[in-house]
A and B are shown apart, each in its own frame.
Chain A
Amino acid sequence: DAKTTQPTSMDCAEGRAANLPCNHSTISGNEYVYWYRQIHSQGPQYIIHGLKNNETNEMASLIITEDRKSSTLILPHATLRDTAVYYCIVIDYGQNFVFGPGTRLSVLP
């Protein structure tokens, strides 16, 4: 079973920031938080991952709470091409990824 809980769906206006939450209240100290997204008819695409500190790359920012029990993926300026299913995954090194149903993000014009 997935170790994370995400909202089923979210909407975001084009050009605005999209904030996607993920709850992982049972996370252990060695487990990373990974985010992937899957655009229709494509394979999942890696976005970002982190352990304790907040992370930022060219695609997104990852904010992890101090107790590590939840995180938020931020797409700073959402475009129509960001419409996808977003998966939050918690995993220890060497373990297999377990995907939940994810959050379906719809970016609206």
Chain B
Amino acid sequence: EAGVVQSPRYKIIEKKQPVAFWCNPISGHNTLYWYLQNLGQGPELLIRYENEEAVDDSQLPKDRFSAERLKGVDSTLKIQPAELGDSAVYLCASSITGGETQYFGPGTRLLVL
């Protein structure tokens, strides 16, 4: 069974440019999560989807971050415009339902110059 797929794996952009990350969860998993992980710290939740509905986006900086999961399957996280402090690893995870065991993708490592 394929795991959580994320792309790209690495991205280097200049500040003020837009960037987008894509995630395809494990087949049949209704819940999808986006996390941010800064160097030396644990992952922090940005947004959680139940099917296509964002049920918790309280930690998503909505002035520059946006996310969508239009058909309740794959998802895109966007930053526009990117700032130097956005350099981090962006992780996607999925679970069968909310509160169940989460399975993580490999992450996208973003470097903003």
> Using a CB–CB distance below 8 Å, which chain A residues touch chain B?
2, 34, 41-46, 49, 87, 91-102
Contact = CB atoms under 8 A, between A and B. Distances in A.
Contacts of B93: 43-44
Q: Which 4 A-B pairs have the closest CB atoms?
A: A99-B42, A43-B104, A94-B99, A93-B99
Interface string B86-113: 0000010100001101111111010000
15 contacts: A42-B106, A43-B4, A43-B93, A44-B91, A46-B101, A46-B102, A93-B99, A94-B99, A95-B99, A97-B45, A97-B102, A99-B42, A99-B43, A100-B42, A101-B42
A53 B106 CA distance: 31
Interface of B: 4, 33, 40-45, 48, 56, 91, 93, 98-99, 101-107, 109
Contact of A87 (B42, B48, B56, B91): B42
Nearest to A45: B104
A6 B101 CA distance: 21
A1 to B, nearest CB: 11
Contacts of A49: 101
Given A87-B42, A99-B42, A99-B44, A43 B99 contact: no
A96 B41 CA distance: 17
Interface of B is mostly: loop
A38 to B, nearest CB: 8
Contact of A92 (B40, B41, B48, B99): B99
A7 to B, nearest CB: 15
B41 A101 contact: yes
B83 to A, nearest CB: 23
B99 A101 contact: no
A100 B44 CA distance: 9
Contacts of B43: 44, 97, 99
A43 B89 CA distance: 9
A95 B106 CA distance: 23
A43 B91 contact: yes
Contact of B56 (A96, A98, A101): A96
